[in-house]
Amino acid sequence: MENSEILNQIVKKEFNLPAQLISQDAITNAYYNYEKIEEITKWISERVTIRPKIGIICGSGLGEIANLVQNKEEIQYADIPEFPRSTVHGHKGVFVFGHLSNEPVVCMQGRFHPYEGYSTALCTLPVKVFKLLGVKLAIITNAAGGLNPNFSIGDLMVIKDHFSLPILSLQHPLVGHNDERFGPRFVPITNIYDKKLRQILHDCGKELNLDLREGVYGTISGPSYETVTDSLFYLRNGADCVGMSTSHEATVACYCGIKVVAFSIITDKVAIEYDAEDGSDHNEIVKIAKLKAKDAEKLVSNFIQKLNQNLLE
């Protein structure tokens, strides 16, 4: 049977309507249902010996965080049946399993973004795989443009909350029928970026002499960067930086009962005055993220060392 025919049958079964009438996220969630994600997880688990408790998502240019992993076992996304591919420079497309600060982890060297053409539900498929792998804590990282005038390029910002216009306007990864085995229909996300974990990150920052910032991550869909008015809107509504990922991943992690801690590397200063000369540039963003990757690595490994074991239960 053709793939499109299979998809139509799945949508018909779930909604009793033609696929054309159903949103992309809902279709994705119908196709990648619990059983399908179990199959993907089984395929992965059969090829690695590590059973990770921590899932790390590496942002643009931050894949080197995975260099810290010992006893590495790698799986290319491209080899996993029915798994999306990474298409963005700075995102390799590899799962790296192993030990980091003696804890079993899985690192995603490369994430999926909605602007690549993937629905938000598809972008967050790996988070559901995390859940079925037994992951209890997600460490999410990204490269972001600084809005807060007090921020400098190269700063690390602990995320205390996010503000996502795409999610608020229904580019939402949990749209569609809900499977309670993943999480509840209506998920409270008031404390999505766990306060205790943020405090541990700050303690690590002090110990490592990293001057960590804290702030709100504003999300745009991309792939174009923000206009000056977009940026002013986000800034005036409480965002300290802007990026194109993380919020939907954190939302799904929280929904799945996975604790979340996240930080951004401020890779550029977003223009908040009209007629600014330069705009953001992805190659430059990846370059800055790579320059700061060592600090990110130290922060992540020190953070895992400091974690109280009961946070991973």
Q: List interacting residues with ligand HPA (CB under 6 A).
A: 143-145, 220, 225-226, 242-244, 267-268, 270, 280, 285
Beta strand 103-109 pairing with 54-58: parallel
- Tell me whether residue 186 is exposed, middle or buried, using C-beta atoms within 10 angstroms of its C-beta: 0 to 12, 13 to 18, 19 or more: exposed
Residue closest to 263 by CA, chosen among 216, 208, 231, 310: 216
CA distances from 262 to 58, 157, 240, 246 (A): 10, 9, 14, 8
Q: Of residues 40, 48, 133, 143, which one binds ligand LQZ7MJT6 by CB under 6 A?
A: 143
The identity of residue 223, as a single letter, is P
Q: Which element (helix H / strand E) includes 115?
A: none
Closest approach of ligand LQZ7MJT6 to the CB of residue 71, in Å: 26
- Residue 108 in 3-state DSSP? strand
Our CB check for ligand HPA shows the closer of 286 and 304 to be 286
Question: Residue 219 interacts with ligand LQZ7MJT6 (CB under 6 A)?
Answer: no
Instruction: Report the C-alpha gap between 234 and 176 in whole angstroms.
Output: 28
Question: Residue 266 interacts with ligand LQZ7MJT6 (CB under 6 A)?
Answer: no
Q: Of residues 244, 261, 266, 307, which one binds ligand LQZ7MJT6 by CB under 6 A?
A: 244
Q: Of residues 104, 176, 218, 222, which one binds ligand LQZ7MJT6 by CB under 6 A?
A: 222
Number of residues counted as binding ligand LQZ7MJT6 (CB under 6 A): 13
Q: Of residues 48, 83, 104, 113, which one binds ligand LQZ7MJT6 by CB under 6 A?
A: 113
What's the maximum distance between 2 C-alpha atoms anywhere in the chain? 59
CB atoms within 10 A of CB 13: 9
Closest approach of ligand LQZ7MJT6 to the CB of residue 143, in Å: 4
Our CB check for ligand HPA shows the closer of 144 and 250 to be 144
Closest approach of ligand LQZ7MJT6 to the CB of residue 256, in Å: 20
Residue closest to 166 by CA, chosen among 274, 73, 248, 225: 248
Report the b/e string of 108-131 with b at 16+ CB within 10 A.
Answer: bbbbbbbbbebbbbbbbbbbbbbb
For 92, residues 6+ apart whose C-beta sits below 8 A from its C-beta are 63, 86, 109, 110
Closest approach of ligand LQZ7MJT6 to the CB of residue 77, in Å: 14
Closest approach of ligand HPA to the CB of residue 118, in Å: 17
Our CB check for ligand HPA shows the closer of 219 and 302 to be 219
- Contact partner at residue 213 from ligand LQZ7MJT6, ligand HPA, none, CB < 5 to 8 Å by partner kind: none
The identity of residue 233, as a single letter, is F
Closest approach of ligand LQZ7MJT6 to the CB of residue 211, in Å: 21
Question: Residue 292 interacts with ligand LQZ7MJT6 (CB under 6 A)?
Answer: no
Q: Which residue is nearest to ligand LQZ7MJT6 (CB)?
A: 59
The identity of residue 113, as a single letter, is H
Beta strand 259-269 pairing with 156-164: antiparallel
Give the footprint of ligand LQZ7MJT6 on this chain (CB under 6 A). Answer: 59-60, 88, 111, 113, 142-143, 222, 243-245, 282, 285
